[in-house]
Structure 1
Amino acid sequence: MAVSSELEGLQDVEPSRFIAFSFPNPLLLLDHASDPYAHGGHEFLRVAVLDHSSPHPSPRTAAMLVPAGRHRDWIFSTRAGHLHLLLASRSQCSHLSRLILVGPELSAPSPSRVVVVAAAARPDPDPAHARLLPLLLALCPRAAFGGDAIPDVPLLSFHDDLLRLAPVKVVAGPVVGEMVVEDVAVDCAPRPAELRRRLRFKRMPFLVQTQVRLVRQLSPGDSLMLDALDEVGGGSLQPEVGGELVQPYLQAMAAGLAVIAPSMDESFRLGGKPRCLCAGIGGGALLMSIRMGLQCDVLGIEADGVVLDVARSHFGLVEDEFLQVRVGDAIQMIQDFAHQGDPDMNFSAIMVDLDSSDAICGVSAPPLEMTKESILLASRTILHHDGAFILNVIPPAADGSFYKGLIDVLRHVFSELYEINVSNGENFVLVATVSPVETILADSSGSVLTKLRKLAGDFLEHITRI
């Protein structure tokens, strides 16, 4: 076998090692009801192995079956997706340092629309685990067999909120690389399921860059909407623009504006519009909500022009007199604005939604450059005296000191600091103000606060001073 030398090397854990190979499908011997890929007739399976460091002296190995129909999804077919699965799986399997993914070969065709099988109807995983166990044991590191014990290699489960998934378009940009637009039906229990359109990048496939609700455009003669779930991937679905934000972390970022709501209300009272700089556009959901929901003047900066094209064509981003976008490096532009001293570059808020381009430690945000004191000082320079710096943060899983260090430097540069815990296990939103803030939500009757409650939901009540 061509990969035999690589497989022999698997006797030891080597952090960052990633290999994938084909293996004769032992699941074909299962009865139809127990085979997770019964409809494919796959003679070979793709087996992918990823190692990651673990501080524990007895690192563990676990395996996961790729959900049926999703073997070509970047979550399960790329090293970056595999790494995120490994890191996320440590809540199910402590001290995990090797994760083995087993699924159909990538050359196998994907369905045009994936229908996720309900948990109650999924095949019993035990027969599949038993058939795969000899292979999984052969892929365990030598240290796992200490004391002649046979290691436990659990078969972990993968669940998300998807009910249907239909790719719409795959395109590549010069900065972010490949990206996919896809229509999905999402389980929102106890509320009804929702249809959404979302944007993901291949370099970080688990991170949904943008997510907006979809609505059906009725044609003359159409009756009431049929089963909404069957509309995923349908041509009559259009993005809902400028309404309540869907993604919780974007709701939290919008909620951060509550800290400067009195100042924003004063701008409107004097006949102006608060200016917001959005670093990182994605599909443009945050920009459109601030522009339409709050009537702000918005400048967006996006590094990749292809991402902007996708935002315009698939997510409803529309530029006008009070919503303008530029292509470029947002961090460099903030520095340039600060050095130029342009009075037009004086913002009520700078909202930073930039993820790290380095996926080696999994999903993280913002990029390290954005946390430098010189960049934060430049940001403060182009904020007016009642302005706020609002930052989406996903602390790297491998660096427990990152978040504390970021808080320390923000405290040093700005006057006050507030935190919103998004409570999704990933995101925090930090809000730093140029000047002290007397009270938050003291007068909830203001126009800006009233509108923010429609955009940001309950996150206005979760703003905590730190």
Structure 2
Amino acid sequence: MAIDPSTFESITPSRFICFTIPHPTCSDSLLRVAVLDSPIHPTDSPRVSAMVVPEGRETDWIFSTELGHLQLLFTLPQMSRLILIGNHFKEETLPARVYSRPSECSFHQQGLHVWSKPLLLALSPRSLFKNGVPEIPLLSYEDNLVSSVVLHACVGCHVGEMLVEDVEIENGVGHGREFRRRLRFKRMPNLIQTEICVVPERDGGGFDEVCIGDDVGFVPDLRVLVHPYLGPMVASLVLVSGYLEGRIRNGFRPTALCLGVGGGALLTFLRAELGFEVMGVDSDREVLRVARKYFGLEECEFVHVVVGDAFESMKKLACHGRLNGCEVNVFGCHLVEDEGKRRFDVVMIDLDTSDVRNGVSSPPLEFVRKDVLLVAKLVLCEYGILVVNVIPPSRFFYDSLVNRFKDVFHELYKIDVGNGENFVLIATVSPLVFSVDDCGNSFLMRLKSVIPESYINSITKI
């Protein structure tokens, strides 16, 4: 069905239209054009940008779904309309199993900047022409992905469709080749839910002979946290390192409650590198299955994982000390008991919103409520800390979060992750009375040996 050209003369919030056109320089192929209007930005002075879909990644959820387009649009400040141009694909096609980045973009070789201009002008709102013929910027999508292979695709009852991928990435000049395993959800395709290091399974030959997509298996290497905000979350433990050292010297393991498990990298790291006992809570059983099979999550005496809602699980822990019939005192006698409640040394929250249309936010909006923070405080011990991965979709969200935390907790600290998106918020139940620079603190020395000191040194009080 033909599209009326007047359709694009005005901005209609959240409108998404896809269509195909003949390729101007290849008579036997088609181009897919997608037009998305922002749900939130003003329409009286619109801004329009266009983006070229990387060749070979047309079926990636980032470029083939409305939610992927929406996340791309949100990365462009104050943009009213985003136009994507790429090679045509069948809408029901799954993401390509194997991808390798081409050395050159044939679109640019085919004079894209010349033949795309009339198309982009035709897809621009009329108000954009009030000062003459506008210049529509034509952007190229760039990331550090060199190649990828889809290992597994499945559907979770809460998160929906998900993919497990092995990828090769560029990691700066002189760092050599680096391989990662990633978990992504279709509902937020541009957001990597979990990322861990992987190494070739076979011995000998080195990395130079290994390529993604070959008959080479990779196995998890969980000694280093590579997800951008996990290192800063763990660095927050420096604030209570003196307290934790005292507990360890008295023969007790530190305890952590992790809300949001994903691939389980944080749980595994806390246990293996810092000697914690950890309880993880995740709402989706399928995510936990994937974590066990592909990301090295192993339940044992010191790692316990349950399926459940994060807030409801905290309430059960605060009131009864039980989750899904599991006694929390599996952690042993070192947990402080207070009127039947079980207490943790640290609660770490790594949850994000399930609706990208409101902008990516972490934690979900319901975790900004005071009653939720009060329950989180109840499951913490006297010198415990609450650590939250935060992606604020707006200044109002950030201010509300900080104000609510100040109403409930004694002190607030933060760590800027440095990626322009995340920061880590740390709330203390009690005043900090322990020295951070105690050279006799073996826990602190261990923490500094596994987490970059730059994160530790960047902790600031709010």
How does the TM-score come out when normalised to structure 2?
0.90
The answer for the alignment partner of 2:34 in structure 1 is 48
The answer for the alignment partner of 2:122 in structure 1 is 138
Confirm whether residue 80 of structure 1 aligns to residue 67 of structure 2. Answer: yes
Confirm whether residue 4 of structure 1 aligns to residue 3 of structure 2. Answer: yes
SS state at 2:80 partner: strand
Report Cα offsets for 1:85-128 as digits up to 9, x if no partner: 112133xxxx4210001112232876542122357x77647811
Query: Relative to 1, partners in 2 of residues 1:27 and 1:62: Cα closer, same or farther, differing over 3 Å?
Result: farther
**Structure 2: which amino acid aligns with 1:451?**
R
Query: Relative to 1, partners in 2 of residues 1:401 and 1:229: Cα closer, same or farther, differing over 3 Å?
Result: farther
Report Cα offsets for 1:334-358 as digits up to 9, x if no partner: 1222233674631000000000011
Looking at structure 2, the residues matched to 429 and 141 of structure 1 have their Cα atoms a distance apart, in angstroms, of 40
The answer for the alignment partner of 1:299 in structure 2 is 279
Looking at structure 2, the residues matched to 405 and 18 of structure 1 have their Cα atoms a distance apart, in angstroms, of 32
Q: Of 350, 353, 360, which residue of structure 2 is paired with 1:353?
A: 350
Give the percent of matched residue pairs that are identical in Structure 1 and Structure 2.
41
The answer for the alignment partner of 1:390 in structure 2 is 387
The answer for the alignment partner of 1:36 in structure 2 is none
The answer for the alignment partner of 2:185 in structure 1 is 201
The answer for the alignment partner of 1:33 in structure 2 is none
Query: Relative to 1, partners in 2 of residues 1:316 and 1:234: Cα closer, same or farther, differing over 3 Å?
Result: farther
SS state at 2:148 partner: strand
**1:18, distance to aligned residue in structure 2 (A):** 1.0
The answer for the alignment partner of 1:37 in structure 2 is none
Looking at structure 2, the residues matched to 419 and 228 of structure 1 have their Cα atoms a distance apart, in angstroms, of 43
Confirm whether residue 210 of structure 1 aligns to residue 188 of structure 2. Answer: no
The answer for the alignment partner of 2:50 in structure 1 is 63
**1:228, distance to aligned residue in structure 2 (A):** 5.6
Looking at structure 1, the residues matched to 115 and 14 of structure 2 have their Cα atoms a distance apart, in angstroms, of 28
Looking at structure 2, the residues matched to 268 and 125 of structure 1 have their Cα atoms a distance apart, in angstroms, of 63
Q: Of 253, 260, 276, which residue of structure 1 is paired with 2:240?
A: 260
Q: Of 414, 419, 427, which residue of structure 2 is paired with 1:419?
A: 414
Q: Of 167, 184, 209, which residue of structure 1 is paired with 2:167?
A: 184
The answer for the alignment partner of 1:250 in structure 2 is 230
Query: Relative to 1, partners in 2 of residues 1:130 and 1:287: Cα closer, same or farther, differing over 3 Å?
Result: same
SS state at 2:229 partner: helix
**1:372, distance to aligned residue in structure 2 (A):** 0.6
Looking at structure 1, the residues matched to 402 and 9 of structure 2 have their Cα atoms a distance apart, in angstroms, of 42
Looking at structure 2, the residues matched to 201 and 444 of structure 1 have their Cα atoms a distance apart, in angstroms, of 44
**1:54, distance to aligned residue in structure 2 (A):** 2.7
The answer for the alignment partner of 1:456 in structure 2 is 451
Structure 1, gaps ≥5 residues long: 30-40
- Preserved contact between residue 182 and residue 196 of structure 2 (Cα < 8 Å): yes
**1:443, distance to aligned residue in structure 2 (A):** 1.7
Q: Of 206, 214, 234, which residue of structure 2 is paired with 1:225?
A: 206
The answer for the alignment partner of 2:84 in structure 1 is 101
**Structure 2: which amino acid aligns with 1:48?**
A
Report Cα offsets for 1:387-417 as digits up to 9, x if no partner: 0000000011xx3211111111111100111
The total of aligned residue pairs comes to 440
SS state at 1:435 partner: coil
Query: Relative to 1, partners in 2 of residues 1:313 and 1:264: Cα closer, same or farther, differing over 3 Å?
Result: same
Query: Relative to 1, partners in 2 of residues 1:234 and 1:414: Cα closer, same or farther, differing over 3 Å?
Result: farther
Looking at structure 1, the residues matched to 90 and 416 of structure 2 have their Cα atoms a distance apart, in angstroms, of 41
**Structure 2: which amino acid aligns with 1:214?**
V
Looking at structure 1, the residues matched to 81 and 135 of structure 2 have their Cα atoms a distance apart, in angstroms, of 13
The answer for the alignment partner of 1:165 in structure 2 is 148
Q: Which moved more, 1:161-170 or 1:332-341?
A: 332-341
- Preserved contact between residue 11 and residue 80 of structure 2 (Cα < 8 Å): yes
- Preserved contact between residue 50 and residue 137 of structure 2 (Cα < 8 Å): yes
**1:60, distance to aligned residue in structure 2 (A):** 1.7
The answer for the alignment partner of 1:113 in structure 2 is 98
The answer for the alignment partner of 1:437 in structure 2 is 432
Looking at structure 2, the residues matched to 391 and 126 of structure 1 have their Cα atoms a distance apart, in angstroms, of 48
**1:424, distance to aligned residue in structure 2 (A):** 0.2
SS state at 1:196 partner: strand
Looking at structure 2, the residues matched to 3 and 331 of structure 1 have their Cα atoms a distance apart, in angstroms, of 49
Looking at structure 2, the residues matched to 449 and 128 of structure 1 have their Cα atoms a distance apart, in angstroms, of 56
**1:438, distance to aligned residue in structure 2 (A):** 3.2
**Structure 2: which amino acid aligns with 1:390?**
V
Looking at structure 2, the residues matched to 233 and 196 of structure 1 have their Cα atoms a distance apart, in angstroms, of 15
Looking at structure 2, the residues matched to 299 and 372 of structure 1 have their Cα atoms a distance apart, in angstroms, of 23
**1:312, distance to aligned residue in structure 2 (A):** 0.3
Pairwise CA RMSD: 2.1
Q: Which moved more, 1:432-441 or 1:370-379?
A: 432-441
**Structure 2: which amino acid aligns with 1:313?**
K
Looking at structure 2, the residues matched to 3 and 267 of structure 1 have their Cα atoms a distance apart, in angstroms, of 71
**1:231, distance to aligned residue in structure 2 (A):** 3.9
**1:232, distance to aligned residue in structure 2 (A):** 5.0
**1:45, distance to aligned residue in structure 2 (A):** 1.4
- Preserved contact between residue 289 and residue 455 of structure 1 (Cα < 8 Å): no
SS state at 2:147 partner: strand
**1:177, distance to aligned residue in structure 2 (A):** 0.2
Structure 2, gaps ≥5 residues long: 323-336
**Structure 1: which amino acid aligns with 2:123?**
L
SS state at 2:54 partner: coil
Looking at structure 1, the residues matched to 128 and 460 of structure 2 have their Cα atoms a distance apart, in angstroms, of 45
Looking at structure 2, the residues matched to 96 and 123 of structure 1 have their Cα atoms a distance apart, in angstroms, of 24
